[in-house]
Amino acid sequence: MHGGMQFTRQYRQIMTPIGSSSDNLPHWAGVFNDEMADFWSGEVVWNGCMAEYTTLKVGGNADAIVFPMGRNELSLLIQGVRKINVTWIILGKGSNVLVPDEGIRGVVIVLGRNFAEIERIKSNNDSVSVRVEAGCSLASLVKWATKHGLSGLEFASGIPGTVGGAIVMNAGAWQREMKDVLSQVTIMDVRGCFRATKAKDMDFTYRSWGQGRGKVAVEGVFQLKKDDPGRVSERCKEYIRLRKERQPYKMASAGSFFKNPKDSEPAGKLIEDAGLKGLKVGGAMVSPIHANFIVNTGKATARDIIELMHVVQEKVQKKFGVGLEPEVKILGGA
């Protein structure tokens, strides 16, 4: 929930307060307004352009985009949209996702800066437990941990997205993953109910937290080690330096596009050895810097990116007999 937009930019969209009307609203807008009126104090972005909310910067409009402030409001929102039979998805900073050009029907729930609390909850001689809400960006969490001299999250330096998305994807780098530093995850189900689960009892695997459809990570508790802030900072800087050298850091992308296949070379090497670096479809391109990144050169459409994805999959399958599975989640299918 599983990206790059700052929330100061999100409010550039035209917003329609609860209770207003427009010819462009979805047919269920009035019922939605009535259902939310008792608890929803915020505003709704109707027909919001999803390209503004994803790191690939492509995609059509969503019927409605909302920004809950805390767990209680999120739960009531989920209960409300279920009651009126409207579909919903959760989004963080929009990394690791691709929105189709046709857009998204239903409600997009963005967990952002109003869902981003960091709290130290327990400390002993050498470690600290830290509770973090799902909307907190990984960058903010790493910065906070560095400032407080807490080690364990350095590997996440430079990974885009939010804590919630990182938990769901079991994001990782440099032989470390989120599961290695998580002690507990609070999960919301499709009914808006919450359950705290110990991380050791969850089925984390490569790029998956092992939970079923409709489950949402709303917060995580991280077990971090006390360390010198200067040493933590230096390790973070080194990981960011390596990322900038090896990845298309300044181009719009969704991060690593394909999962690394089991019992084979990494996806990036397979794609590079297939001679696909720099391959373009429309405004989408296989990065010349790192072959497992599909980048938006400036005018790509979601269709361009999906077509390029299929070309890469076909050519790698033909040359090496290896099927590449997208790590990027295509919302609404493709």
The catalytic residues are: 207, 256, 327
The sign of the torsion formed by the CA atoms of 38, 110, 201, 82 equals positive
Task: Report the C-alpha gap between 294 and 277 in whole angstroms.
Answer: 10
- Provide the CA 44 distance to its chain's centre, in angstroms: 21
Q: Which amino acid is at 161?
A: G
Asked if 215 and 134 count as a contact pair (C-beta separation under 8 A), the reply is no
What's the chain's length in residues?
A: 334
- Nearest in space to 62 (alpha carbons), one of 109, 106, 101: 106
144-176 burial, b at 16+ Cβ within 10 Å, e below that, comes to bbbebbbbbbbbbbbbbbbbbbbbbbbbbbeee
Say which residue the tokens 């300044």 belong to. 250
Phi and psi, residue 113, nearest 5°: -65, -20
Task: Report the C-alpha gap between 326 and 126 in whole angstroms.
Answer: 39
